[in-house]
């Protein structure tokens, strides 16, 4: 009776395969990755061992921005209306720009001194960080309209851990990093930091640690993400006179670039050894840092001289400098989903600049509210958001 048994087994296998294929077709391709899956991918990127998967990863070039290529939208970002959100710190409003017409289509009031517009880890919400009123204003990215404010102490900036389990509110005025529930923002743990003016951060390729900049003391902090504790403090070579701002990880995960407004350039920091390895001179008052969609270049906004420096990740050198006609104060922003336009706020000129990433030509200068700051381009490519104005991986 062997043949009937084999026939039944084969039929069962065919049925199971068909069901699996049906399930694959029915599964939502746009769902955000599960936190454990993200952690696994991050360990692979960092060179960790995960059996055969790690073996395959080790033979390829690491690129932490591999999922951020042009138009690689995923999950909830696919349903978002393409808009530019501009928090105006001086007028307590958010201007909404249609990138197609390059015109303001809406303005709505928020809390006191809004600093940044931040995409949530799961890409389903945007949050305006109202620093002085101690609130977050949620925005529905499908409609572009605000919701009811959420009480949060001193939200100068906002980030999310790579596994999506915690939000990190950067309480600059209180010298704290507050680890919170990423949905309700209930406080989990408040970490006092031994520096002044903590404001920007980025995470290692593996997500095990983060580096944070301290604007007023010229320092960099290294924080163990899992244990939520400071494990290192680094004084920049220009000392307390330095003013580190934005920070971004190189595609290969080996170097962090730190914009220092006083050094007029980017410090290169080896995150693993926690050591400064060099300085790239860019321009006066360098402030914001944004990788290109092909992960070949880093755009650095020189707020003090009205220019954008284009740095090659491969050579670590400035390959181009784009000047804003008539001068300006390019501050913070992001790259369009298709990679063709760099959108940045003009902090001291009450405008937003749209700049071609092909040749650096100024495409538009759009009037907005007073002191525009952490502009957010949405949607952006990537599987999940680490926060700020859009650090996606």
Q: Using CB atoms within 10 Å of the CB of residue 327, give its burial: 0 to 12 exposed, 13 to 18 middle, 19+ buried.
A: exposed
Is the pLDDT reported for residue 33 higher than 90?
no
Q: What is the pLDDT of residue 16?
A: 40
Cα angle at 353 between 351 and 357, to 5 degrees? Answer: 175
Q: What is the pLDDT of residue 298?
A: 98
Is the pLDDT reported for residue 217 higher than 70?
yes
Is the pLDDT reported for residue 23 higher than 70?
no
Using the structure block, give the residue that is written with the tokens 């390729």: 205
Is the pLDDT reported for residue 6 higher than 60?
no
Is the pLDDT reported for residue 271 higher than 50?
yes
Q: What is the pLDDT of residue 60?
A: 57
The tens digit of pLDDT for each residue in 325-373 reads 999 999 999 999 999 999 999 999 999 999 999 999 999 999 999 999 9
Question: Sorting pLDDT into bands at 50, 70 and 90, what band is 71?
Answer: very high
Cα angle at 166 between 171 and 273, to 5 degrees? Answer: 75
What is the mean predicted confidence (pLDDT) over 178-207? 98
The rounded distance, in Å, linking the Cα atoms of 156 and 128 is: 10
Conformational region of residue 272, where left means phi above 0, alpha means psi within -120 to 50, and beta covers everything else? alpha
pTM of the model: 0.86
What is the mean predicted confidence (pLDDT) over 108-132? 98
Average pLDDT, the chain: 89
For the domain covering 75-378, report its CATH number.
Answer: 2.130.10.10
Q: Higher confidence at residue 322 or residue 22?
A: 322
């Amino acid at each position: 009776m062997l043949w009937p048994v084999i026939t039944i087994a084969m039929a069962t296998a065919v049925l199971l395969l068909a069901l699996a294929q049906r399930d694959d077709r029915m599964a939502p391709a746009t769902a955000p990755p599960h936190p454990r899956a993200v952690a696994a991918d991050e360990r692979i990127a960092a060179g960790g061992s995960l059996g055969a998967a790690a073996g395959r990863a080790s033979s390829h070039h690491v690129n932490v921005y591999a999922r951020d290529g042009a138009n690689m939208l995923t999950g909830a970002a696919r349903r978002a209306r393409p808009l530019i959100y501009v928090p105006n710190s001086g007028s307590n409003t958010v201007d909404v720009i249609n990138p197609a017409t390059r015109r303001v289509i809406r303005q709505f009031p928020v809390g006191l001194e809004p600093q940044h517009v931040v995409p949530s880890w799961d890409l389903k919400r945007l949050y305006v960080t109202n620093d002085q009123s101690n609130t977050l204003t949620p925005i529905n990215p499908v409609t572009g309209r605000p919701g009811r404010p959420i009480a949060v102490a001193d939200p100068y900036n906002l980030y999310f851990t790579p596994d999506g389990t915690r939000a990190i509110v950067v309480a600059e005025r209180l010298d704290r990093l507050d680890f919170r529930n990423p949905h309700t923002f209930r406080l989990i743990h408040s970490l006092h930091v031994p520096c002044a003016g903590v404001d920007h951060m980025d995470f290692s390729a593996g997500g095990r640690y983060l580096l944070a900049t301290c604007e007023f003391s010229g320092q960099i902090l290294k924080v163990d993400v899992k244990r939520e504790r400071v494990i290192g403090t680094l004084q920049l070579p220009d000392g307390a006179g330095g003013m580190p701002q934005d920070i971004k990880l190189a595609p290969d995960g080996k170097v962090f670039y730190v914009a220092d407004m006083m050094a007029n350039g980017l410090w290169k920091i080896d995150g693993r050894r926690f050591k400064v390895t060099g300085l790239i001179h860019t321009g006066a008052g360098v402030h914001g840092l944004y990788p290109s969609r092909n992960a070949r270049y880093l755009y650095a906004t020189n707020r003090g001289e009205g220019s954008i420096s284009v740095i090659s990740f491969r050579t670590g050198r400035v390959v181009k400098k784009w000047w804003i006609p008539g001068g300006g104060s390019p501050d913070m922003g992001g790259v369009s989903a298709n990679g063709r336009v760099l959108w940045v706020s003009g902090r001291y000129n009450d405008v937003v600049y749209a700049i071609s990433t092909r040749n650096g030509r100024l495409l538009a200068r759009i009037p907005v509210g007073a002191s525009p700051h952490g502009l957010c381009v949405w949607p952006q490519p990537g599987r999940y958001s680490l926060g700020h104005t859009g650090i996606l991986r």
